[in-house]
Amino acid sequence: MNVLSAMRACGLAVAVAALAMGALAAACTSDDEDEAEATPTATRAPSVATATRTPAPTPTATPTPTPTPITPATPTPTSTPPPTAPSPPAPATATPEPTPAPTLKDFVLTQTTTGKDLLDRLSEKERECIKEAFGEFIYAAMQGLPLLAAGSEPSQAAPLFACLETESVVRAGVAFLAVPLGGWDAETRECAVQVGLKNPEAILSSFGLPSREDPNAAAEANPYVVELHGCLPAEDQVDYLLSLVAAIDALSSAGRDLIGAIPQADVACIRDAVSDGEYTRLLAGTVGDAFEVSEAVSGCMSDEAYVQAYMSMSKAALGELTGDSRACLEEFARDHPRYTALMDPQAHDASSDRERLAEVATDGIKTWLCLTPDEIERSQAIAIGAMSR
């Protein structure tokens, strides 16, 4: 018997029992109503024994189990380690800085500057050229020697300058020019460098060195030489002027350039004003010395005497002058009496007349405009000598 049939049978039995009990109850009720007045003497057992059966339990339908919701297990929290700071990246291999090209920028020449100090600032090509020009022995020796130990003779510098590139020529030349004047500040040096870069011949001519190309380049460099002089502070212009006057005077002779050049009236005045001994000493010295022999010399000098003495001294310093050069210089001398008066050391006080002397120096630089290329070359040789005094 299957489950369903059993359930039906049990249900039927229960129903039959229920009906039987209901019938029994109804019968008992009817008998009580008929015998209401009678008192029962004994209790009779029922004629029909009622079998008491334990009712089968009503089958309870097994409920469909409600699925227990699955509560997801709470994950055991895993301790999260604190974030670790990222490791610094491995240092990149530093790219080596390119070795700067050697340069003479800011090169300053002093009494202790050696050949090596200069050579280290030159290119390999320039160094090799110098080594070939001077020879390996001298090249090696000059490394440890002060550059200024060689003196200031321009011819000694020519082989070195011939090996240098244009900018090196200019910067080295400016460094050399600054030494006799006690050195220049950075502004003065750079001004001179810029003038030289526009025309390197301005530097070459300042050293009395020949032009690299055009033989007339020295004349073309004249305006730049004047401009180069303009870079100098007023103090340096005065110092240069006085050094140049002294350099020219050293080449002069009072007998030739003073007594032999000035008007006879001025000579007679001097002769009468000094003693025989003084006159003898006067003739033996330079023009500058003559003025120091006796104050009477300056007292006897006319304006024309100063012009003629200046022209004679110029010829002694520069050699023969062309007619045009001579005429130009003579005109300059007549127009600038304060300049020609510088031949008299007592005519100015270098310590108190600086401003006036600076003006005279500016005027005097214009004399270069009167000269031919050859005369300029000779004058610059004297000029560089003046700067080295």
Asked if residue 322 and residue 197 are part of one domain, the reply reads no
320 and 305 in a single domain? The answer is: yes
CA pair distance 317, 311, nearest whole angstrom: 10
Instruction: Classify residue 44: in a domain, yes or no.
Output: no
Task: Let me know whether 243 and 273 are in one domain.
Answer: yes
Same domain, 195 and 279: no
Give tens-digit pLDDT for 43-57: 444 443 444 444 555
Average pLDDT over residues 245-263: 94
**Residue 378 belongs to a domain:** yes
3-state secondary structure of 146: strand
Does 201 or 138 have the greater pLDDT score? 138
Encode pLDDT of 85-125 as tens digits.
556 565 556 666 666 778 899 899 888 999 999 999 999 99
Which phi and psi (to 5°) does residue 51 adopt?
-70, 120
Domain range for 165? 115-232
Does 33 map to a domain? no
Choose the final residue of a domain: 202, 232, 262. 232
Is residue 88 assigned to a domain?
no
Residues 195 and 177 occupy one common structural domain: yes
Number of residues that this document lists for the chain = 389
Nearest to 365 by CA among 270, 173, 271, 226: 226
Assigned domain for 212 exists:
yes
Give the least confident one: 25-29, 271-275, 337-341.
Answer: 25-29
pLDDT at 274: 96
Whether the CA torsion 18, 20, 26, 29 is positive or negative: it is negative
The last residue of one of the domains, among 201, 216, 232, is: 232
Nearest Cα neighbor of 211 from 384, 380, 364 is 380
pTM of the model: 0.59
| 170 is a domain residue | yes
Q: What is the pLDDT of residue 116?
A: 94
The pLDDT-based confidence of 14 (bands split at 50, 70, 90) is: very low
Give Cβ neighbours of residue 380 (< 8 Å, ≥ 6 apart): 205, 206, 207, 208, 218, 225
Same domain, 205 and 322: no
372 and 252 both lie in a single domain = yes
23 is a domain residue: no
State pLDDT tens for residues 56-71: 555 555 555 555 555 5
For the record, the structure tokens of 329 come out as 């210089």
Q: Is 266 helix (H, G, I), strand (E, B) or coil?
A: helix
Q: 211, 232, 253 — which closes off a domain?
A: 232
| Structural domains counted in the chain | 2
Instruction: Convert 284-308 to b/e letters by CB count within 10 Å (16 or more is b).
Output: ebbbbbbbbbbebbbebbeeebbbb
Determine which of 35-49, 275-289, 315-329 has the lowest per-residue pLDDT on average: 35-49
State whether 226 and 336 are in the same domain: no
Same domain for 225 and 305: no
